Structure 1
Amino acid sequence: MTGSPAFPAVPDCPWFVVNDDHPDLARRLRARARAGELRRIAHGRYVPVDAFDRLRPEQRHHVLVRSLVDRIRPRFVVSHLSAAAVLGVPFLREWPRRVHLVRPQEDARTTSATFVVHADLSPEMPGIWRFRTDGLRVTNSERTAVDLAMTLPMLDGVVALDRLLRLGADGQRIRDGIERRSTRGRRRALRSLEFADPAADTPGESVARVRLDEYGAPTPVTQHRFQERGLPDIVVDLWLPELGVVIEFDGEVKYRDRAMRAGASAEDVVIAEKHREDRLRAFDEVRQVIRLGWSDLWNEAAFRGKLRRAHVPMRH
């Protein structure tokens, strides 16, 4: 990857810094925090409760990172999950409460109440991006991908790698970076990279693919396009062509998020989805449509039950 991707905007949430050189301001901020108006997210860093709570989890971690730019030593670089938050890479578990950094060309690891500083395990892979607005330095897509693949379980690694590859990260550079690391975790990281697919459109779709692999189900085609003359194409999340089975992931965000509904009501979105599915089922090659939600992805019995009812074979 030669250039920088379109980074997500800094979340719309101000932060306030307690500065002991201005004791009156510090007292006011602490009083607002005691009153429940502000929340302390790190030592000396406060955010408005209402604005912060409206953010998605990855955006909250992004705000934490940005609020601490002035405390990150010049040689240190934001890395691992903290870099993921800045680059717009999803993570399905609880985001860390401390900011993760790497110290280039140093092999020592240190922690504090605010930071986790990782040893530089890839000194030959120094890729760094710097933001002009505040000088924040963050590991680039390939370096972030290597760090995440080496440290996360496969499911989480695939979710991250899917997004980073979709953003334009170079798969060969990621592979080279992984292969230069120590053997601990390398096999899992390479497996995650081999499994990753830049066509994956959502984290739910990524998790569904991993689950299908765990169950020994056939490998799906990602983002398959059904075409009908005179009508818009229908692109489905996952397609099992030999079985005639479509798998669609329904994240509730498209019904709840006004921006994603593009001005339509939730009811309009439901009706449009019904019409789309009716068209989809009318294709001769489509035998079954499986709809999944997050609860299915975390409930093995529920997911397997839907696959069995659609006569999808499973080896495990």
Structure 2
Amino acid sequence: MDFELPSMFSRSEALASGFTDDDLRRARADGELYTVRRGYFVRTEVYRTLDSGARHLVLARAIHAESSRSVVFSHVSAAVLHGMQLWELPLDKATFTVARTYAGKRGRQRILRVAPIPPTELMEVAGLPVTTPARTVVDLARSLPMVPAVCLGDCALRLGLTHRDELGELLSGARTRTGIAKARRAVGLMSDGSDSAGESRSRLHLHALPLPPPLVGQWVYDDDGVLIGRASFLYPDHGVIGEFEGGGEFGAEPVLPSLDDRRRHNRMQELDWTVVRWNWRDLSSPRALTDRIARAFLLASAKRAPAGTFSAARG
């Protein structure tokens, strides 16, 4: 049966297109349709192509279609709508906020929170009402563990969805809200210089070590001003460069460096930088990673100062 309907459609839309309830039952039994929620469906072949964020959004759209007009996408569901990275965000429940006085609700597929939503903290994305990126970052910083909250905020800053002054204003406005102290700590650790969730995690690990803070996202040049490449973390006074090498977006498996990566690595070493590299798997063993970084500092102490220059802006 050919359901040439949008990626998600309701029972009423199917009936209006000429299908019957028997058609829907047969298609579900045959595995042709996937039931997102009672009365809402997606063609199974389409659903299988969706990543976890897109599947979450399908569920959130279905729930929102049955909600009152005052219900707004927020928290995790807002982060998905804004295109933020979803590392370690719980995607099993759609999350909404409503500016009412009754208590919030938590169900199998939905979390409904109750909180004021000033007009300045509300916008539309793809025709859907959603909290602004800044409000979304602060809401999640109040409710998520520190590391995923910082990774999310880094992503929002990197993509230009918000900026530090805006986050500061939102923190001030939410000063009486639950979790605000945790949110302040998380926002204080956020940066627009990390290229990925892996770099954000790495930066937090380095921040906890008894080392000076590294320069983040620096471009390294030789003595002739020729660009060598980007360094994730650079310690100029110690001659050390730290490199996060992601395996997929959040993959645990290491990826073999490309020829260009190896050339960049070798050229940095030729300039007397001591380069230490790690990946997602290494981040799961922080003690071993700390030892490797310490060895890099020890090795660099016996070498001369690196040649060339570096800059936060690519020339």
Retained in 2: the 8 A contact 1:19–1:26? no
Retained in 1: the 8 A contact 2:28–2:34? yes
1:21: how far off? 8.0
Q: Match for residue 172 of structure 1?
A: 165
Q: Distance in 1 between matches of 2:54 and 2:130?
A: 16
Query: Unmatched 5+ residue regions in structure 2?
Result: 1-5, 300-315
Aligned pair partner of 2:106 in 106, 111, 120: 111
Instruction: Give the 3 Å change call, closer, same or farther, for CA 54–244 of structure 1 in structure 2.
Output: farther
Instruction: Give the 3 Å change call, closer, same or farther, for CA 24–52 of structure 1 in structure 2.
Output: closer
1:34: how far off? 3.5
Query: Unmatched 5+ residue regions in structure 1?
Result: 1-12, 257-265
Retained in 2: the 8 A contact 1:141–1:169? yes
Q: Match for residue 82 of structure 1?
A: 77
Q: Distance in 2 between matches of 1:144 and 1:304?
A: 33
Which stretch has the larger CA shift, 274-283 or 298-307? 298-307
For 1:296, the aligned partner's letter is D
* Matching of residues 274-313 of structure 1 within 5 Å: 274-284=262-272, 286-287=273-274, 289-311=275-297
Q: Match for residue 185 of structure 2?
A: 191
1:191: how far off? 1.2
Instruction: Give the 3 Å change call, closer, same or farther, for CA 21–196 of structure 1 in structure 2.
Output: closer
Structure 2 residue 223 is the aligned partner of structure 1 residue 235: no
Aligned length: 285
TM score, norm. by length of structure 2: 0.78
Q: Distance in 2 between matches of 1:245 and 1:182?
A: 43
Q: Distance in 1 between matches of 2:267 and 2:50?
A: 36
1:208: how far off? 0.7
Structure 2 residue 148 is the aligned partner of structure 1 residue 160: no
Which stretch has the larger CA shift, 160-169 or 142-151? 160-169
Cα deviations across residues 173-219 of structure 1 (Å, max 9, x unaligned)? 32232233326422221111111101221111001111222344432
SS at match of 1:97: coil
Instruction: Give the 3 Å change call, closer, same or farther, for CA 304–218 of structure 1 in structure 2.
Output: same
Q: Distance in 1 between matches of 2:26 and 2:292?
A: 53
Q: Match for residue 149 of structure 1?
A: 141
Q: Match for residue 41 of structure 1?
A: 36
Cα deviations across residues 237-260 of structure 1 (Å, max 9, x unaligned)? 121223222222222228x9xxxx
Structure 2 residue 8 is the aligned partner of structure 1 residue 15: yes
SS at match of 2:86: coil
Identity percentage of aligned residues:
24
Aligned pair partner of 1:98 in 88, 93, 100: 93
Retained in 1: the 8 A contact 2:228–2:264? no
Q: Which structure would you say has the larger Rg? A: 2
Aligned alpha-carbon RMSD (Å): 3.0
Q: Distance in 1 between matches of 2:102 and 2:191?
A: 32
Q: Match for residue 7 of structure 1?
A: none
Q: Distance in 2 between matches of 1:73 and 1:139?
A: 16
Q: Distance in 2 between matches of 1:62 and 1:70?
A: 12
Q: Distance in 1 between matches of 2:119 and 2:235?
A: 39
Q: Match for residue 131 of structure 2?
A: 139
Q: Distance in 2 between matches of 1:246 and 1:73?
A: 53
For 1:45, the aligned partner's letter is Y
Instruction: Give the 3 Å change call, closer, same or farther, for CA 78–242 of structure 1 in structure 2.
Output: same
For 2:266, the aligned partner's letter is D
For 2:232, the aligned partner's letter is D
